[in-house]
Amino acid sequence: MMRLKFRALLLALVLIFSVSSLAIALYSEPKSGSEVAPGDAIAYTYTLTADVENCALRLSLGAGLTLREGSVKVSGDNTAEIIYGSDGFVIMADNLKTGTFISFVADVSSSAMEIWAQITAGDGSISEEDGYAAHILVLPAESNQVTPAPEGYEVPDAGRPGVNRMALSVVAIALASFALFTVVRRYAALHKVQQAETAVVEAPVPVDVAVPQDNTVEYLVIPEDAEKDAAAEDTDEALEDASGEAIAESSEQSE
């Protein structure tokens, strides 16, 4: 391992001092920029358009891709060394000829976030535009399970949802009215039964109270009769006085 690291460092230093522009052709299936979903696989192929000596090529994968084991291939008769990492791999070789291609397959994971792959050279000779490929992640829509309608059943006015809603509203109102009528009717029947079973309490008949008769006789005094009575009383008194005086005088004379 230490030998490999030392060799990589040495190659990097060499490449730094001998920088040259390296064009690379990129091909992917499906094509870069297309839509992919979790579970899909993307095949990448990078083709060298010039000879490369003492190269160190690094290929990085986005967080949504997983390198398929054993899928990395380097064409041609060479002694390229492949070093795998957690987010891709590195290819180290003494000499890669024009037309050499590097291919691999990556799977889109269920927790995919970023779908991209990029190849870079230790000397920076590969531009980002040439070595970068990205795809659009599309999450599958949840399937709506619809229970099939029984045979012979037809949905009225299937193309007019407003009419369907109105029809359902009318049916619901009719059912509610019927239920309310049934409840009221049962309550009335039950009330009649309770009245028939309950003894009717009659109100007591009022008793006439006999009022005692007033037997008091009121005598009416007539003014004329009253005057006559007064005159008669005066006459009687005068006669009594006269007879008394006469008796008194006869008594005196006899003496």
83 burial class (0-12, 13-18, 19+ CB within 10 angstroms)? middle
- Residue spans of the domains in the chain: they are 2-137, 158-197
Contact 32, 26 (CB under 8 A): yes
Reduced 3-state DSSP string for 124-181: CCCCHHHHEEECEECCCCCCCCCCCCCCCCCCCCCCCHHHHHHHHHHHHHHHHHHHHH
Confidence band, pLDDT 50/70/90 cuts, at residue 165 = confident
pLDDT tens track for 97-141? 999 999 999 999 987 778 999 999 888 888 877 889 999 999 877
Return the CATH number of 2-137, one of 3.40.50.720, 2.60.34.10, 3.20.20.70, 2.60.40.740.
2.60.40.740
pLDDT tens across 43-86, in order? 999 999 999 888 899 999 998 899 999 999 999 866 899 999 98
104 vs 244: CA distance, rounded Å: 180
